[in-house]
Structure formats: structure tokens, C-alpha cells
């Protein structure tokens, strides 16, 4: 099992991935309680977090979220985050889909995310409001 992490409600994401950066904006806009904070895997903090959870910072194949003191990866991470957003708790029913199937779909998107959605030359730049919720 992976090590615990002292910070809670932290989303680790690939900061050069356009799809991943859109995911962060999607969550931030709907997270009215501002409970989630974000860290790009390319930051010092994000790299430490990734390594702690067995994610290669040079070739990340998943985002991650620390929630309730535990780390969630791949489809579990996405569904955990979505289920905490106002009006999105219905996605909990998707946990009934077998994890291997959910993670296979997640992996397909993750492996092709740069080709399908594109890639920034440098890490995604946050606006001033979102910057307050970034851990680097």
C-alpha cells in the first residue's frame, strides 16, 4: 500500500497536459467550497508527491488525489474528485463498474492524451484566483 500524505484534498496532475489542465479548471469552477488544491507533477511538491505514490514524474500515467488521508489513482481518483463536487455525487454509481474496466478506459485516454488533446510547451499557468489553491 502507498504511504499516507499529510495534506488532504490535493489533486496531482500533469501540468503540461492540456486535457489535465482543463480537468483542473473544471474541478476548480465547480468546487464551490474550494476544498481541493492542485499541484502540477512538474513542481517540486508535485514531484515529491508523485514519487511517494509510485508515479514516474517524467512519464506520469495517472493523476492522483489525496482524499480522506488516502491516495486514489486513475479512475478512482477521477470518480473520487467528481463525487465530492456539488451536484456530481451521482457519479458514485460508476464505482460499481469493475475497476479493471474503468482503469483500462482511463489508461487508454491517459496514454493518448498528448496526441488527442495536445501539450503545452511549459507548465500550465494559473490565473490569480486559482493560483491561491496551488501547491508547488
pLDDT digits (tens, 9 = 90+) for 39-77: 999 999 999 999 999 999 988 888 899 998 899 999 999
Closest CA to 68 of 58, 60, 59, 76: 76
A 10 A CB-CB count for 29 gives: 10
The overall pTM is greater than 0.85: yes
Q: How does pLDDT run across 96-111, given as a tens digit for each residue?
A: 999 999 999 999 999 9
Q: How does pLDDT run across 2-39, given as a tens digit for each residue?
A: 556 778 999 999 999 999 999 999 999 999 999 999 99
A 10 A CB-CB count for 87 gives: 8
In b/e form, how buried is each residue of 51-66, taking b as 16+ CB within 10 angstroms? Answer: ebbebebeebebbbbb
**Distance between CA 74 and CA 57 in Å, rounded?**
15
Mean pLDDT computed over 67-90: 95
pLDDT at 106: 95
Break the chain down into helix, strand, coil percent, rounded to 5. 45, 15, 40
Q: What are the extents of the domains in the chain?
A: 10-131
pLDDT at 89: 93
pLDDT at 4: 62
pLDDT at 1: 39
Q: Which of the 8 DSSP states describes residue 132?
A: T
Amino acid at each position: 500500500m502507498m504511504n499516507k500524505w499529510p495534506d488532504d484534498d490535493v489533486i496531482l496532475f500533469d501540468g503540461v497536459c492540456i486535457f489535465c489542465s482543463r480537468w483542473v479548471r473544471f474541478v476548480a469552477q465547480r468546487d464551490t467550497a474550494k476544498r481541493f488544491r492542485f499541484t502540477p507533477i512538474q513542481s517540486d511538491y508535485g514531484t515529491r508527491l508523485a514519487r511517494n505514490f509510485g508515479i514516474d514524474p517524467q512519464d506520469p500515467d495517472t493523476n492522483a488525489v489525496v482524499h480522506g488521508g488516502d491516495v486514489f489513482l486513475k479512475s478512482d481518483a477521477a470518480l473520487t474528485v467528481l463525487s465530492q463536487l456539488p451536484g456530481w455525487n451521482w457519479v458514485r454509481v460508476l464505482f460499481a463498474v469493475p475497476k479493471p474496466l474503468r482503469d483500462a478506459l482511463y489508461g487508454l485516454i491517459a496514454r493518448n492524451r498528448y496526441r488527442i488533446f495536445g501539450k503545452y510547451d511549459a507548465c500550465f499557468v494559473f490565473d490569480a484566483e486559482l493560483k491561491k489553491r496551488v501547491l508547488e
